[in-house]
A and B are shown apart, each in its own frame.
Chain A
């Protein structure tokens, strides 16, 4: 069974631009969660999608958005990029979502650098 894939793996953008990251979950998984990982803030939850609906959201500004398609693939978008958005963005998929006894499988991440 293929793992979680994320594209692209690396991305360089400039301030003010927008970016779209993609995540393909493990086949059969309906939940996709997104995380931001930085040296200063650690691993922070962005949002979770389940069956095309946003089920939970972290404490990030509205510039961060996401969506999920009928095949469970998910995209996240960051508009008006700021230097502080430079981070590793991780996607995780699971069968039923939530954090209660849930086995999440993480992708390798997209490394975003904002210049």
Chain B
């Protein structure tokens, strides 16, 4: 199968770190993506990682990939209220279309 799984909800306090997790079942995936969707808007690509990488960092965002466990995580440092959104994990492979997870709704509490 080509499932991508995520927990549906996450609440954190402003200033704390957020960690959003994703697991996937198809081992042929070569690219893994994180998208952000704010209310009433389309998806915005945050970052992506190639499957031969373990980690990628971009300002407040850190992506960790555990290929053995097929586990991907997105860490947001110093989470702000503007980070409140739905975060989608997605995977892509040669000749295949994107497969998205169900999305994790991140709520940032003041």
Q: Which residues of A contact B (CB under 8 A)?
A: 4, 33, 35, 42-45, 48, 56, 58, 90, 92, 98-109
Neighbouring B residues of A42 by C-beta, 8 Å: 100-103
> How far in angstroms is the closest Cβ of chain B from A15?
26
Contacting chain A: which of B10-18, B35-43, B57-65, B69-77? B35-43
13 further interface pairs, Cβ-Cβ under 8 Å (given A101-B31, A109-B41): A42-B100, A42-B102, A42-B103, A43-B43, A56-B97, A58-B97, A98-B92, A98-B94, A99-B97, A100-B30, A100-B93, A105-B45, A108-B40
List the count of A-B residue pairs having beta carbons below 8 Å apart.
Answer: 62
Neighbouring B residues of A35 by C-beta, 8 Å: 100
A108 to B96, CA, bound (A): 24
Neighbouring A residues of B99 by C-beta, 8 Å: 45
Neighbouring B residues of A109 by C-beta, 8 Å: 41-42
> How far in angstroms is the closest Cβ of chain B from A32?
13
Are B94 and A100 in contact (CB-based, < 8 A)? yes
Q: What residue in chain B is nearest A97 (Cβ atoms)?
A: B97
Top-4 shortest CB links A-B: A99-B92, A106-B42, A43-B100, A45-B97
